[in-house]
Amino acid sequence: MHIPDGFVPPQLCIVGYGLSGFVTWQCLRQINRHSDPTTQMPKAAMLAAAFFVASSIQIPLPPVSLHLVLSGLLGAVLGYHAFLAILIGLFFQALFLGHGGFSTLGVNAIIIGVPALTAHGVFQLRRWLPQSLKPSLRYGVSGFLAGAIGMLLAVTFFISILIFAVPVGFDVATERAALLTLGLAHGPLVIVEGIFTALIVTFLQRTKPELLTGLVMPSTRHNQSVRPSGEQLCD
């Protein structure tokens, strides 16, 4: 799910850098509103390394190859730090492994990073699930949704960009067949990412719950209230 250099037109690369720059600025702005912006850095560095490794391992499934993205997991655990961790991971993948590219770094960051931020919002749904449910079940359900939706959005963005980036004159039937195969191949991976994210956040909830108290969305910043789930919002 890494678009290489030279595959998309320069105009799209410029737009990608512009959008990713804006999202980066917004994330940094929200992070700096925290009383101590550095508290999440060790966790962000650890998950950036996990993203670097996991999304570098290709799973061959002819005629395509697949890899984990972990956008849902990073979004659930890191909040606004997720986009920055993904951006750094993509940079080092392009530098050391040749995955993706430097001209398409912004585009790839949008493809994977924006779904991670969306997954963070989805993960907050656990606060609204019935309090009668066990905490592990609330975390598991919201974690699964975060992981699955994060992956689904990333695949959707990726395929959408490929549709617009296909050169004029390319065989339409071949293009449709390739995109259909790509979409179907990633279907099981959506479920896998959902299950994987659910398992990880449930494990963390039981053993290291403080790792799940990342930055919350702007509507809840400065509002340390108690939701119906009984959880206090923590920055």
Mean pLDDT of the chain: 86
| Residue 17 binned pLDDT confidence (cut-offs 50, 70, 90) | very high
Q: What is the pLDDT of residue 216?
A: 47
* Complete DSSP assignment for 26-75: HHHHHHHTSS-TTTTHHHHHHHHHHHHHHTT--EEETTEEE----HHHHH
Asked if residue 42 belongs to a domain, the reply is yes
Enclosing domain of residue 203: 10-213
3-state DSSP call for residue 232? strand
Cβ contacts of 165 within 8 Å, gap of 6 or more: 3, 7, 8, 9, 12
Whether residue 18 is predicted with pLDDT greater than 50 in this model: the reply is yes
Asked if residue 18 belongs to a domain, the reply is yes
Backbone angles phi, psi at 193, to 5 degrees: -65, -35
Asked if residue 102 belongs to a domain, the reply is yes
pTM for the model: 0.85
| Cβ atoms 196, 73 nearer than 8 A | yes
Residue range 135-170, pLDDT digits in tens: 999 999 999 999 999 999 999 999 888 888 766 666
Cβ contacts of 134 within 8 Å, gap of 6 or more: none
Asked if residue 227 belongs to a domain, the reply is no
Asked if residue 149 belongs to a domain, the reply is yes
Asked if residue 179 belongs to a domain, the reply is yes
E-strand stretches of the chain:
59-61, 64-66
Q: What is the pLDDT of residue 221?
A: 42
Asked if residue 108 belongs to a domain, the reply is yes
Output the domain CATH number for residue 61: 1.10.1760.20
Domains contained in the chain, number: 1
Average pLDDT for 77-93: 97
Asked if residue 19 belongs to a domain, the reply is yes
Whether residue 61 is predicted with pLDDT greater than 80 in this model: the reply is no
Whether residue 232 is predicted with pLDDT greater than 50 in this model: the reply is no
